[in-house]
Structure 1
Amino acid sequence: MEQELYKILYIIREYSKIYDITPYIVGGFIRDYLLGKKPQDIDFLIDPFNIDFIDNLSKILKGRLVILDEERKYFRIVVKNKENTFVLDFTPIYQQNLLLEIVRRDFTINSIVLNLRNFEIYDPLKGLKDLERNVLKLSSPDSLKEDPLRILRVFRFGASGFKIDKSVFESIRKNSQRLSKIKPERIHEELYKILKNPFTSYIWKEMEEYNVLREIFPELSEMKNIPWSEPHHENPLEHSITTLYVLEELFYNIDKIFPSIKKELEKYFSEKLFSEFTKKETLKLASLLHDIGKSKTYSIDENNLVHYYGHSKVGSEMLEEIAERLKLSNKELSFIQKIIRNHMYLIDFIKNQEINPIHKLISRVNEDVPSLIFLFISDQIAIKRTFENKEYFEKLLQDFFRLKSIPKPLLSGHEIMQLFNLQPSPLVGILKEKLIEAQIEEKIKTKEEAIRFLKEILENERNTSRDHS
C-alpha cells in the first residue's frame, strides 16, 4: 500500500508545479501516519485553488471525481485498485489564510500541516507535541461550538487511548446541548466509531458525567434514578455500562474463553449490519440499551425488593423511538429489538440444564443465537460478578455452529392462526417453535407435513385437557 500511496503523492506534487500550485496535506492523515497507521484518506488544501488542476489530476490518477460541495469548492478524487481505495479531498484555504484555516480545525493533533512542495511542517498550535504526549486539545475555544459533533469525536479519541485535556471537558459541559442541532445520521455514525474501539465502557461514564448521554440517549441516562435492590449491586445505568464492560472483555478474550469455536464466533461477529460496522458494534450498543424498559416497569414489593416485570418487552418497544431519532436502519432495529426482547430467555434453561434449548433459541432469534448468549453471559456476570456455566454456554454455541442451516418456518404465525382458527396468543409462538425444532431435526420437510404435525400437537393438547377435567 505504501508504494501506491507514495506514487499518488509524487504525482500530485509534480503535477502541482505545472499549475504553480502549493498543495498542503492536513488533518488525520498526518496524525495517523506519525502513529504508524496506514491511512488511505488524505485532506489537501490547495493554494491557489484551481478546479482544472483537480479535474485533470483525477484523469492522471485514473480516479473518480466527486463534487461534494460546488459552492464551497469541496471536491473528492476516489482512486481504486484491486486491493486499496484512496480518498483524496481537496478544498481551498479559508480566506486564503493558512493560520485561520488551522485554527478552524477540531483538535491540535489534526492541525499539523505539511507543504507537499517543499516538505516543510507548519505547526503553530504545537500539535506534534500533543501527539507525542498523547493529549487531545481543542484548536480553539469555539471548536465544539462551531461543530458540536466534535463532542462525540472527543470521546472517540478518548476511547482510542488519547488523554483528554481538562479544558476540553469544560467545553463539552458548556456545549453538550448543542448536540440536538446535529443531524441524527452524523451522530449515528459517530456512535459506531466510538464502539469500534475495543474498550469503551469508561467513555459512557464520562458522557454521563459531562451531560452528553442525556442528549443522545435520555432513556439510558435517566436509569440512574431508578430504584434497585439485590441481586443487583449498582443502579440500572451503572449495571448497563458494566454489562458493556463485560461484553468487551468477552470479545477481547474470545480465544481463551471459547477456543474451540473462536473462528466461528469471529466470523459471525464480523458480519456487517450498518455501513462498515458489524454485529459486534451493534451488540455493544444493545448491551447499553438492554434494560431501558426498567424505567417504565419497576415496582417495589412489601419486602422492599425491586422488580422489573416485562422490562424486556417494553424495552424492545422503546427502541422504536430511539431508532427514529437516530435514523437506525431496519436491520439494526430488528437485530437490537430481537436481542433485547429475548435477553432473559435463557434464565429458565440455566435452572434445568438437562434440556437443550438450542432449537428454541434458533426459533426465537434465528442466526443471532451467539449475540443472545453473549449478552446473557455479560448481563449475568455484571450482576453476579462471576462467570457461571461456561461449559454449558460453550456447548450451546458448539451445537449452534454444528447446524448446517437454520430453516425458515414452513408456516408463518399468521398461517398457523388461520389454519387452526387461533387468536393471537403465546400458543402461536409455542407452535412455531415446535415447528422449527422439528424442521431442524428433519422430522418434517413439507407444508403438508407441517400442518399434520401441528394438528397432532393441538389434538393431544385437547385430549390432555379433557382427561384433566
Structure 2
Amino acid sequence: MSSVEPREPARPLIWPNIVLQLADALADAPEPIYVVGGAVRDAYAGAPIKDLDLVTHRGATPLARQIANLLNGDVFVMDAERDVARVLIDTPDGRLNIDVAAFRADDLEGDLRERDFTINAMASQLQGEMTLLIDPLNGEADLRHKLIRRCSAQSFTSDPLRTLRAVRLSVQINGHIERETLADMRRHAAALPGASPERLRDESVRVLAGIRPHAAMRIMSVVGLLPAVLPELSTLPSADREMAFRVIERLDHILTAISPQRSDNTAAAFGLGAFVVSLDRFRAVLQSHVSAHWANERPHRALLMIAAAFACSVPNAASAVDPLCDRLRFSNPERARLIAILRADRALVADLERPLDDLTLHRYWYGPRDAGVDAVLIALAEELGRAGVALEQDRWVRVLERAQVMLGTFFERAGEVVEPPAVIDGHTVMTALKLRPSAVVGKLLTAIREAQVMGRVSDADSALAVAREVLDAQT
C-alpha cells in the first residue's frame, strides 16, 4: 500500500457540518483538495474545529475565492507568490478560519513530510471518503500515544518557532515530547530569538492563552526556550521563577472557575469552592471581561498570564514590562493595559488591615478601571500561589469578601463610587476662584470628586466650598 493510500483510522473522524457542506459543494473540483494538519487531528479527537487547512496541487487562491462565495465569507491573499489565501467564515459556532494553500512540495506526501509534527502530517481528501485517513508518517499512532514527534531532522532548522509549537501541542494533548525531538528543540533554542518578533509574539500568545500555561512555561524553562519569550523570568532565581509558574497555575484555575466550561466538579478539583460561593454573582461579567481580544484577535487571557508572572516575581514590574512589549511588538493599548494592571494597588485585596471605605475604593478604581479587575484576579491567584497547601481557610474567606466588595463596587456602584458624574468643570473652578490654568486646578477637581464620593459634594456650590477649603489649607 502507498504511504498516501487512504485507510480506515482506528477511530472515526468526526467532521462538523460546515466541512461536510464544503465537501459536497466542491465535489466536482478539478484538482484533489485535502484537509490537513490540526483539523484532521481535531476530527480524530472529536474536538471542535476552528481552523481548517486545505491544500491542493495548484490554484489555491482561486479556490479560496470560490469557498468564500459558497459560504458567504471574506477572502484575504496571504502570500500571492506561494499561492496561500485565507477565508473567514462566521458560523453559528463562531468564526471559522480556512487557510487554502498550494502543496509545499511536488505532491501531497512531500507536503506532509515538510510539516512540523507527525500528528499534524495527516490528511483526508475533501472530495473523497472523509472517514478515511492519509497518514504517511504514522501520526495516528503518535496521537494515540500522545507523543509529539518531529516530521524530519530539518523540522526545527527550517522554522525554530516550531519548538514553541511542540510545547503548546504537548500540553494541549496532555502528552510528552519524543526524545530525539526534545534534543533537537534544545539544540535549536538559541535560534528562536531570530524569528520575526510578530511570529514569536503570536506563538507565545497561543502558549500563554492555551490550556495549562504554567505547564507549558515549565517545559519552556527546562528546554531553554523561556529566555527568547520571557527573559525577565528566565533570569530570576529558581524559587522566584517557580513562584511565577505557581501563580499562573492558580490564575488559570480561577479563570476556569468563572468560564462557561466550568463543571460541577471544577471548583472541587481546584479547591475553589469558597471562590465560587463568594464571587459567582460576577461570573457573567467576568467571563465577558476575560474573553476580550486585542489586535488581530489576541486573547486578553495571554496578557493576564504575563501580568501575573511579572506581578509576583519581577522587580519594578510596571517598568520591566515595557521592553517586553517592544520586543514582542504588542500594540500600544496592550502595553497600556499591562502597565495599568501592574501599577494597580492589588495589595488592597489581601491586606486585611486596610479599610474598604468608599474613598479607598474610589482611589483604587478611578485610575485602572478595567485593569483593576485584572489586578483583583491576579491578587487572588497570588494569595493562593504563595500560601500553597498551607492556605488558611479563614483568611482566604476574608480575602474573598474583600474581593467581593471591590468587584461589587466596580460592576454595581460605578456611577456612585468609581466615577461619579461631574458637578463642576475646571473652567468654572478657575473663573469662580480667579485661578490660572495650572496643576492646582487638577488637584482641586480631584479633591472635589473625592468629596463627592464621601457625600460632601452634590452641586457646584458645595464643590466650590471644598475647593476653597483646599486652597485655604495650602495657604
Q: TM-score, normalised by structure 1?
A: 0.79
Which residues in structure 2 correspond to 1:153-164 (within 5 Å)? Answer: 153-164=165-176
Give the whole-Å Cα distance in 2 for the aligned partners of 1:221 and 1:409.
46
8 A contact 2:344–2:364 mirrored in 1: no
Partner of residue 263 from structure 1, selected from 265, 269, 284: 284
Amino acid in structure 2 at the alignment position of 1:236: D
The one of 21, 42, 48 equivalent to 1:7 is: 21
Q: Is 2:367 the partner of 1:361?
A: no
For residues 448 and 273 of structure 1, the distance between their equivalents in structure 2, rounded to whole angstroms, comes to 43
User: How far apart are the structure 2 equivalents of 1:54 and 1:368?
Assistant: 40
Distance 1:448 1:459 in 2: 16
- Partner residue, 1:300: none
Aligned residues: 424
Quick one: distance in 2 between partners of 1:344 and 1:264? Answer: 20
1:179 is matched by which residue type in structure 2?
L
Long gaps (5+) in structure 1: 226-234, 295-313, 463-469
- Map of 2:208 onto structure 1: 195
Deviations 1:406-435 (A, max 9, x none): 4389679xx99x9688779xx978x67644
Q: Give the structure 1 partner of residue 354 of structure 2.
A: 352
Query: How far is 1:128 from its partner?
Result: 1.0
Aligned mates of 1:452, 1:399 — CA distance in 2: 27
Please give the alpha-carbon distance, in whole angstroms, between the structure 2 residues aligned to 1:46 and 1:127.
Answer: 20
| Distance across 2 between alignment mates of 1:58 and 1:81 | 13
For residue 150 of structure 2, the aligned residue among 101, 113, 138 is 138
Q: In the alignment, what sits opposite 1:186?
A: 199
Q: Write the distance in 2 (CA, Å) between the matches of 1:347 and 1:392.
A: 6
Contact 1:360 1:433 in 2 (8 A): no
- Offset of residue 343 of structure 1: 4.5
The Cα of 1:156 is off from its aligned counterpart by 1.7
Aligned-residue RMSD, C-alpha? 3.4
Of 326, 329, 333, which aligns to 1:327?
329
**Distance in 1 (alpha carbons) for counterparts of 2:314 and 2:161:** 28
Q: Deviations over 1:78-113 (max 9, x none)?
A: 444676544333222233232221111011111001
Shift of 1:368: 3.0
Who is 1:379 aligned against? 382
Give the Å deviation of 1:286. Answer: 0.2
> Is 1:251 paired with 2:232?
no
Deviation at 1:77, TM superposition (A): 3.6
1:300-359 CA-partner distances (Å, limit 9, x unpaired) = xxxxxxxxxxxxxx3212222211111111221111111212355427953233645211
CA 1:434 to 1:345, structure 2 compared with 1: closer, same or farther past 3 Å?
farther
Would you say the 8 A contact 1:22–1:48 is kept in 2?
no
Shift of 1:458: 4.2
Matched, 1:288 2:292: no
Aligned to 2:183: 170
Task: Report the residue type matching 1:381 in the other structure.
Answer: L
Q: How does 1:231-242 map to 2 (within 5 A)?
A: 235-242=239-246
* Cα distance change on mapping 1:398 and 1:75 into 2, 3 Å: closer
Look up the match of 1:100.
110
Mapped contact 2:420–2:453 kept (Cα < 8 A): no
Deviation (angstroms), 1:222: 1.0
CA 319–376 in structure 1, closer or farther in 2 if over 3 Å, else same:
same
Q: Is the 8 A contact 1:65 1:77 kept in 2?
A: yes
Tell me if the contact between 1:363 and 1:436 (Cα under 8 Å) persists in the aligned partners.
Answer: no
Corresponding residue number in structure 2 for 1:403: 413
Following TM superposition, by how much is the alpha carbon of 1:293 offset from its aligned partner in structure 2, in angstroms? 4.7
Q: 1:259 to 1:208 in 2, by over 3 A?
A: same
Deviations 1:433-461 (A, max 9, x none): 64443455675577886565344234246
> Any idea what SS the aligned residue of 1:25 has?
strand
Deviation at 1:118, TM superposition (A): 3.3
Alignment equivalent of 2:128, drawn from 112, 118, 135: 118
For 2:342, the equivalent position in structure 1 comes to 340
The AA in structure 2 aligned to 1:9 is A
Maintained 8 Å contact 2:414/2:420: no
Q: Which amino acid aligns with 1:264?
A: V
Q: Which amino acid is 2:246 matched to? A: T
Amino acid aligned to 2:377: F
In the other structure, the counterpart of 1:34 is 44
Compared with structure 1, are the counterparts of its residues 40 and 161 closer, same or farther at alpha carbon in structure 2 (3 Å cutoff)? closer
How big is each residue's C-alpha offset from its partner over 1:10-48, in whole Å with a ceiling of 9 and x where there is no partner?
A: 111x221xx2x2112111111111221231432222135
Question: Retained in 2: the 8 A contact 1:135–1:162?
Answer: no
Closer, same or farther in 2 for the Cα pair 1:432/1:191, shift >3 Å? Answer: farther
Alignment of 1:219-230 (within 5 A): 219-224=232-237
Which of 290, 309, 317 aligns to 1:315? It is 317
